[in-house]
Amino acid sequence: MIEFNHVSKVYKEVKALDDVSFTVGAGSVTAFLGPNGAGKSTALRILVGLSRATSGSATVFGRAYAELDGPAHRVGTMFAPNAYHPGRTGRESLTLGAMTLGLPRRRVDEVLDLVGLTHRESRRVVKGYSLGMRQRLGVAHALLGRPGVLVLDEPGNGLDPQGMRWMRGLLRGLADSGCAVLLSSHLLHEAEEVADRVVVVGRGRVLAQGTMDELNRGRTLEQTFFDLTAGADRSVA
Amino acid sequence: MSEHMVPVTEGGGAPVAAGARAPFRRLVAVEARKLVDTRSGLILAALLVGLTVASVVARGVVVGPRALTVLGTAGIGLGTLLPVLGILTVTAEWTHHTALTTFALEPRRMRVLAAKCLPPLIAAVAASLLALLAAVLVTVIVAEVRHVPATWDISPLVLLGWTGANVLVVAEGLALGMLLMNAPAAIVVCVAGPVMWGIVARLGTSGEVLAGWLDLNATAAPLASADMTGGDLARLAVSVAFWIAAPTAAGLRRAVRREVT
C-alpha cells in the first residue's frame, strides 16, 4: 500500500535520502528505524507531499498522496508533536480536521475515546499538554478519517510505559483489521515491541529491511541496529 | 489521562466514496473558524470592534454630529489593525507548524491559501459596515442630545470607496504576510511603509514621483473622497500591483514550492 521507489533527496550539500526503496503492505506495522538525522522524517514528509523528492517516487495506494481523491480520508498522518496551535484546545484542533474532512462532530469524541484523552483534557489548550498527550492528540487526528494507511512520525516519543502499551495495542489492532502502518522511530525497544517489519536507515540509505526475525537472526535488535548503523549516526542535521 | 485500553473499532482499509475532496466553501469555513478559535484571535477581533466603536464615539462627542468626519476616525484604527489581521492570518500556520497538519489534510495548497484570504477580506467589509452603523448612531444621538442639526455627508460612493480602501489594506497585509511568511517582518514593512514614502517624497522630484505612484496609502486616499480621476486610478493600479498583486503571486509560488517542516 505504501511504496518508496528509489527516493533520493538532496539538500544544498547534504544527501538526506539516497535511493530509498521499500514497501509496506496491508495488515502490517512497519517501523522505519534509524538514528536521529537518518532521514526518516524527510522520507515520511515526501510520502505525503509536504516535501519533494529530488528523484524517485513515493506512492500510497499506487498514486502520489496529493493525487488521491480525499487523501486524508485514506491516509492518516501525524508529524511533529508541535504541529498543533498551542493556543487552540485539543478538541478544537480535531474539530478543524473533522470539518475539513466533512465528518460529523461526534467523530471528534470517537477519536478522543480511541486515544484515551478525556473530555476535560480535550478542552484544555495544547500549550499545557505533555508530550505524551500531544502524541495521543496526533494519533487521534490521524484516525479522524478512518484511514486504511497510517503514517506516524515518532509516535512513541514521550510516551510512558502505559502509553507505549496502549500504542502497541492500538496499532496492532489497526493492522489486524487490514491497515498498513508505517511509523518512524529511533527507539529500538519501541520498534521491537510494536512492529512486525523493520526498515533500518542510516545516512539516508536503507541498510536492511525485513521481518524482525529475518533481521535479528537470534541477536537482539540492539546488536543488529548498532552493527548496521556503525558510523552512520549523526550524519545529517 | 485515562490509561485504559480502548477497543479498536476502526474500519481498516475500507474504500472511501469518490469525491471526498473538500469543497472550497468548506475550506473557507475552516479558515474563518481559525480566526476566532484561539485567545489571541479573539483578542484581535475584540480590539477591532472595540477600537472602531470607541474611536467613533469619542470623535462624535468632540466634533459633534458630522457623520463623515466621525466615520473617518474609525479608519485610523482599522488602517492599523486590519493589515495585522491579514498578516497573522497567513503567517500563523508557518509560525505554529500547523502547516504540517493543514497541508496534509488538503495538499492543494493554493486552495487553502485562497480560502485563508477570504475571511479577513470579508472582515474588512464587516468592520467598515460596523463603523458606519456606529457613526450613524453617534451622529443621531449627538445631534439629538445637543439639539444641533446633523451633517449627513456620507454619500454611497464615499462609503464604497472608504470600504474599498479598508479592503485594500487587508489585502496588503495578506500579500506581505504570504511573501515574507514571517509576521514581525511583514508588520514592520507595513508600518514602515508610510514613513519611508514620506522620506522618499522629500528626495527631490523623482522621489516625489516615485512616492506618488507607489505609496499605497496615498494612492488609495482619493478612493475615500470619491473624486477619483483617471490619473488617480492609474496610480492606484500601479501601487496595488506593486504592494498586493506581485507579493501575492510570489508568496503563493513560495508556499506551493516550500518544504513544510
Q: Distance from A83 to chain B by nearest Cα, in Å? A: 5
**Ramachandran assignment for A57, one of left (phi > 0), alpha (psi -120 to 50 degrees), beta (any other):** beta
Q: Which of B115, B117, B100 is nearest to B259 (CA)?
A: B100
SS3 content of chain A, % helix, strand, coil (to 5): 40, 25, 35
Residue B19 located in a structural domain: no
Q: Helix H segments across A101-218?
A: 106-115, 119-122, 131-143, 161-176, 188-194, 212-216
pLDDT attached to residue A203: 87
What nine digits make up the cell of B146?
Answer: 445637543
Q: Distance from A232 to chain B by nearest Cα, in Å? A: 23
Residue B240 located in a structural domain: no
The ranges of chain B with pLDDT < 70 are 1-19
Enumerate the residues of chain B whose CB falls inside 8 A of the CB of residue A169: 5, 8
Interface mutation vs chain A, best among B101, B106, B254, B261, most A CBs within 10 Å: B101
% of chain B at pLDDT higher than 90:
75
A234: how many CB neighbours lie within 10 A of its CB?
A: 12
Among A86, A102, A148, the residue with its CB nearest the CB of B13 is: A148
Looking at residue A54, the DSSP 8-state letter turns out to be S
Give CA–CA dist A186/A160, Å, rounded. Answer: 16
Q: Which of B54, B69, B25 is nearest to A100 (CA)?
A: B25
Are B96 and A86 in contact (CB < 8 Å)?
A: yes
Give CA–CA dist A94/A88, Å, rounded. Answer: 10
The CA–CA distances, whole Å, from A68 to A24, A165, B22, B27, B55 equal 18, 33, 12, 18, 51
Q: What is the ipTM of this complex?
A: 0.92
Contact A126/A85 with Cβ under 8 angstroms? yes
Give CA–CA dist A198/A55, Å, rounded. Answer: 23
- pLDDT by 10-residue block (mean), chain A, 237 residues: 95 90 94 88 96 96 94 95 94 97 96 95 96 95 96 91 90 94 88 88 90 76 75 48
SS3 content of chain B, % helix, strand, coil (to 5): 80, 0, 20
Contact A57/A17 with Cβ under 8 angstroms? no
Tell me how far the alpha carbon of residue B158 is from its chain's centroid.
19
Longest CA span, chain A? 50
Looking at residue B202, the DSSP 8-state letter turns out to be T
Give CA–CA dist B74/B139, Å, rounded. Answer: 14
Looking at residue A67, the DSSP 8-state letter turns out to be G
pLDDT attached to residue B67: 93
Which sequence spans correspond to the domains of chain A? 1-19+42-68, 72-195, 200-237
Q: Which of B182, B13, B132, B102 is nearest to A77 (CA)?
A: B102
Cell numbers 512513541 correspond to what residue? A156
Give CA–CA dist B175/B20, Å, rounded. Answer: 30
Contact A51/A42 with Cβ under 8 angstroms? yes
Give CA–CA dist B27/B30, Å, rounded. Answer: 5
Which homologous superfamily is A72-195 in? P-loop containing nucleotide triphosphate hydrolases (3.40.50.300)
pLDDT attached to residue A232: 55
β-strand A205-211 against A197-202: which pairing, if any? antiparallel
Domain count, chain B: 1
A-contacting residues in B 68-97 (Cβ below 8 Å): 92, 96-97
Q: Which residue of A has its CA nearest to B27?
A: A100
pLDDT attached to residue A109: 97
Angle at A21 between CA A140 and CA A60, to 5 degrees: 40
A-contacting residues in B 92-121 (Cβ below 8 Å): 92, 96-98, 100-101, 103-108
Residue range of the domain that includes B88:
24-182
Q: Which residue of B has its CA nearest to A159?
A: B3
pLDDT attached to residue A119: 94
